[in-house]
Amino acid sequence: MTLRDVLVPTYTQMLGALSAWLGKAEDQMPGAAGDALIAARLAPDMFPLSTQVRFACVQALEGVFRLRDEAFPPSVAVLLDEGRAAREHPGSLADARARIAETLAQVAEAAADIGDVDPATPIAHALPQGMVFDLTAGQYVRDWAIPQLYFHVMAAYAILRAQGVELGKADYVAHMFAYLRPPEA
């Protein structure tokens, strides 16, 4: 199993689930109520739902392009800027779902060209605060790329639940139903 085989399906499954949750929110809270939901947050010092969605998309794009050893596409900067400005301009649930769809398309396109990355390949992961983590590609996938995606996806899930959107465990693991054994006759 390659790093691509671990990372890309995780991104696809979880961003797809996030989009489905936002779709449920649109159905359950149409119009202004749903659009107000996008500005909700769990705590005053946390980013709102709209930022959690955008940052989850950023994590997926960064992970794929980092494994390709390429510069991030301009869409990463756009998502980061939108996420940082979300308190003033949160957008709508439809905007958030559109960002996820765009990200999934970019991930699928970029992932097609990822070769077998040696898990021992060094990666210097720099953060905006000036911190740099020296990791191998395997450590990056295991210790940063996947946990960061799950952090933002889970924050979004928690915000939706806290705001009254009816979601449950089956929504979180919807991808698992493809593996469900049919009942015995």
pLDDT tens per residue across span 105-157: 999 999 888 878 899 999 998 888 889 999 999 999 999 999 999 999 999 99
pLDDT over 80 at 77, yes or no? yes
pLDDT over 90 at 90, yes or no? no
> In this structure, which long-range contacts are made by residues 74-77, counting pairs with CB atoms below 8 Å and at least 24 apart in sequence?
75/102, 75/103, 75/106
Q: Domain 3-179 falls in which CATH fold? A: Four Helix Bundle (Hemerythrin (Met), subunit A) (1.20.120)
In the chain, domain spans: 3-179
Of 11, 45, 28, 39, give the one whose Cα is nearest residue 159.
Answer: 39
User: Model pTM?
Assistant: 0.92
Rounded to an integer, what distance in angstroms lies between the CA atom of residue 3 and that of residue 178? Answer: 22
- List C-alpha distances in Å: 65 to 50, 89, 155: 23, 28, 24
Token couple for 166: 């009816």
